[in-house]
Amino acid sequence: MPISTTGRIRNSIAELGWRDAVWHALARLLQRVPGKRCALHRYQFVAQGVAPGSLCGGRGKSIVVTPCLGMETLPPASQRPPRPPATLTARFRQGARCLLASAPHTALAGWLWMVHGACQEDEVRARYVLPSPQSSWDLDVWVHPELRGGLVFARLWEEANTLLHGQGVRWSCSRISRFNRTSMSAHARLGTLDLGTATFLRCGRWQWMLASLPPYLHLSRRADSFPSFIFDTSGLPHIPSLELTCRILKQ
């Protein structure tokens, strides 16, 4: 039996909480604007401690994770998630690196992107600045739908942790959609620290931003006008003692 409108509202509130449920309802209404001229994004910023050593204890070795440093070494468009080529090119241009996971019978099982120093947001006009050399930014963690619930996510994070820790990185920061409760829960299980929230409303060229951290408010209508958020991990109270396991990391 189809769920009624009232039922959907109740489910949304139960899953997201009333505040995010209201924002989500507004985001869905804006999706109906012709030409996709309007959109609303609500982000949670978090910092995750980078832990040394093996996270999987040798399990999942059939999942091979390799670095990718340029467009020419990415899998064909038919095998990867739908991302505009211009977006991927821009990521590499700003120094981002991609970890690719492959599994038996699956050319691309998942990927994870990382960038040091600063990261230009893909979805909205915003920039994330990381002044501490002991921090990095991770973005666009994706696992093939048929392999979710397995060890792909765990193996990606295991290799990312090893690589980042070897480079002196102790915190990996990221943004999560507050409308994606699965991702929010997965990051919470990793022992993340909350860094703040930001809500972006875009209509045509105009973009409005409201955040819980500086610069708090921003309004722009040009591509070269955007808020910059500074995430200085050197002031965080401690590095969490993470006992990450494959069970925790499964998604």
The CA distance from 60 to 62, in Å, is 5
Residue 243 tokens read as 């006992």
Closest listed residue to residue 191, CA positions, set 46, 45, 55, 15:
46
* Greater pLDDT, 218 or 58: 218
pLDDT attached to residue 153: 87
Percent of the chain with pLDDT over 70: 86
Separation in Å, CA 218 to CA 15, 34, 132, 146, 212: 29, 25, 25, 40, 12
Alpha-carbon span 27 to 222, nearest angstrom: 22
What pLDDT is recorded for position 246? 47
Quick one: pLDDT at residue 5? 53
Type of residue numbered 157: W
pLDDT of residue 102: 94
User: Which pLDDT value is given to residue 63?
Assistant: 93
Could you read off the pLDDT of 49-107 as tens digits, one per residue? Answer: 887 777 777 788 899 999 998 999 999 999 999 999 999 999 999 999 999 999 988 88
Tens of pLDDT, residues 14-49 = 666 778 889 889 999 999 998 889 999 999 999 998
Of residues 242 and 212, which shows the higher confidence score?
212
- Looking at residue 247, its pLDDT comes to 47
Interval 149-193: pLDDT, tens: 888 988 998 899 999 999 999 999 999 999 887 777 777 766 789
